[in-house]
């Protein structure tokens, strides 16, 4: 059997982190089996669906690298096909018109709840001859006896009695099809073999299987993955922090790090934490997904992102970092090689934003020294060392870390002091007190002219402080 999976988001907002994980699982399953991954936009909710949301979904998937083999297909382009199926079901006596008023349905629901019964449509219009000329919906005639049984790849065998299911609406009064009808027809027409989706849809599955059987077709294989929870145990939402995929991009996370984190939410392979994409494709199987919900842990995501920052190609990190430096009004072309800065700093950062913030001093002078560091290192006793090292640095004709190292040590030898007496005041003078890599590399990256300027500022600070 040819494996065909799909991701079918509704364009009513951004690409949610939960939706992204579902898409990832479907994508991995298709790639593992050499199948096809289809993107379908379920935009039958005409009031809430927007082009902006469609673009946000496409942008999020593109950033994550979840390429699709077919699509995007839009349900609003398939209304004729849905109507064709509705009319066929009507002609075969498998669907009927219903003109129950909103008031009647609300009263029915209230009475059922008062009697502690499960609220559902009572089939009032099932045997009535409702005119096509009056306002009505069309309902699917659900079997009243027997049960629906299906084997879910995550949850195992699921069984639901048909008497627990009511006659759901498949066509609204305005003529538009409902989700449960359109999704069945789309999965059928697109030859979807495996429906991998969130378990919030599992109550719809028996209804959809009954519609398929009424049409004379077998159901696909289902896999309902559990939802993602916040750390407080509630369903992940905006109150827990960012839930949009693009928000994580803007927060300085790498797409491969987010993918790695999402695949580990509810799935594992031994104790391994970091996976290449090829490893994910090779090892992942939806049958190994946990039944229990997973909790989103921001600290774990940051840890994974840090591992990728450390190991990814520095040139690529530099390219991504330039965007975040730009948001700090820094032009990285007016300073040291950004790749060299990445290599020097990336061990200290968990996100690209953090990497940009701790690297600012390489590209522009700081306004003030760190008060604690300056109080300790920029004292009158450091004046001579700073002046001597400034002279030594200015005399370097070939500006290399090696020559800088030699010059600083020569000053310490000349003054007959330990390296710390020269190196520590110099570090604070040129960085402002910001955490930084080795002194030789730090001075090299900051540059000869900037170091001279900043040492002058430090000397001025010491002089003003002494007055």
Catalytic one of 88, 107, 191, 238: 238
Q: Which pairs count as long-range contacts for 229-237, CB under 8 Å and 24+ apart, including other chains?
A: 229/293, 229/294, 229/295, 229/296, 230/295, 230/296, 231/295, 231/296, 231/297, 233/295, 236/17, 236/18, 236/296
SS3 string of 172-235? Answer: CCCCCECHHHHHHHHHHHCCCCEEEEEHHHCCCHHHHHHHHHHHCCCCCEEEEECCEECCCCCE
Locate 308 and state its tokens. 């990728």
Evaluate whether 201 touches 20 at the Cβ level (below 8 Å): no
Cα–Cα dist 173/137, whole Å: 5
Strand bridging mode 194-198 / 221-225: parallel
Q: Which residues pair with 446 in a beta bridge?
A: none
Q: What are the backbone dihedrals phi and psi of residue 424, each rounded to the nearest 5 degrees, phi first?
A: -70, -45
Q: Which residues pair with 37 in a beta bridge?
A: 5
Cα–Cα dist 132/97, whole Å: 8
Using alpha carbons, list the distances in angstroms from residue 169 to 28, 138, 175, 288, 463. 34, 6, 11, 35, 82
Residue 95: strand, helix, or coil: strand
Strand bridging mode 137-140 / 169-171: antiparallel
Q: Which helix (H) or strand (E) holds 74?
A: strand 70-74
Those residues with Cβ within 8 angstroms of residue 102's Cβ, 6 or more apart along the chain or in another chain: none
E strands, 94-142, in order: 95-98, 137-140
Classify residue 239 by its DSSP letter.
Answer: G
Distance from the Cα of residue 305 to its chain's centroid: 12
Locate 24 and state its tokens. 């990832």
HSE-CB of 87 using CA atoms within 13 angstroms: 8
Start-end of H helices in 65-138: 79-91, 102-114
Locate 335 and state its tokens. 């300073």
Our answer to whether residue 118 is catalytic in this structure is: no
Question: Which residues carry out catalysis?
Answer: 238
């Amino acid at each position: 059997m040819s494996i065909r999976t799909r991701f079918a988001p509704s364009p009513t907002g951004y690409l949610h982190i939960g939706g992204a994980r579902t898409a990832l699982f479907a994508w991995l399953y298709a790639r593992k089996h050499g199948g096809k991954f289809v993107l379908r936009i379920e935009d039958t909710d005409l009031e809430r669906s927007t082009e902006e949301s469609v673009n946000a979904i496409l942008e999020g998937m593109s950033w994550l690298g979840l390429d699709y083999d077919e699509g995007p297909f839009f349900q609003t382009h398939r209304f004729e096909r849905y109507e064709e199926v509705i009319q066929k079901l009507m002609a075969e006596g498998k669907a009927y018109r219903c003109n129950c008023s909103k008031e009647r349905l609300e009263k029915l629901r209230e009475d059922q709840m008062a009697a502690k019964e499960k609220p559902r449509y009572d089939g009032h219009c099932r045997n009535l001859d409702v005119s096509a000329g009056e306002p009505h919906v069309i309902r699917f005639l659900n079997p009243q006896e027997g049960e629906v049984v299906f084997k879910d790849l995550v949850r195992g065998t699921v069984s639901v009695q048909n008497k627990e299911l009511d006659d759901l609406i498949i066509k609204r009064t305005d003529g538009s099809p409902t989700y449960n009808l359109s999704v069945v027809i789309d999965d059928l027409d697109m030859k979807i073999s495996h429906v991998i989706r969130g378990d919030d849809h599992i109550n719809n599955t028996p209804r959809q299987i009954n519609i398929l059987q009424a049409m004379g077709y077998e159901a696909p294989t289902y896999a309902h993955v559990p939802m993602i929870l916040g750390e407080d145990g509630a369903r992940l939402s905006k109150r827990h922090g960012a839930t949009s995929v693009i928000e994580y991009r803007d927060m300085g996370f790498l797409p491969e790090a987010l993918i790695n984190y999402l695949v580990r939410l509810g799935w594992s392979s031994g104790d391994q934490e970091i996976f290449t994409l090829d490893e994910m494709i090779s090892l992942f199987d939806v049958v190994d997904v946990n039944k229990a919900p997973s909790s989103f842990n921001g600290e774990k995501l940051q840890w994974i992102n840090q591992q990728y920052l450390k190991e990814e190609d520095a040139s690529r990190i530099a390219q991504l970092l330039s965007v975040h430096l730009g948001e700090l009004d820094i032009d990285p072309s007016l300073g040291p090689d950004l790749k060299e800065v990445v290599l020097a700093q990336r061990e200290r950062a968990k996100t690209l934003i953090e990497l940009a913030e701790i690297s600012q001093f390489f590209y522009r002078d700081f306004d003030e020294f760190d008060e604690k560091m300056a109080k300790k290192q920029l004292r009158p006793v450091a004046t001579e060392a700073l002046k001597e090292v400034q002279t030594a640095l200015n005399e370097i004709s070939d500006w290399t870390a090696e020559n800088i190292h030699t010059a600083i040590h020569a000053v310490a030898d000349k003054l007959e002091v330990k390296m710390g007496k020269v190196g520590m005041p110099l570090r604070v003078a040129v960085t402002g007190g910001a955490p930084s890599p080795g002194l030789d590399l730090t001075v090299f990256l900051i540059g000869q002219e900037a170091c001279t300027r900043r040492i002058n500022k430090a000397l001025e600070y010491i002089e003003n402080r002494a007055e």
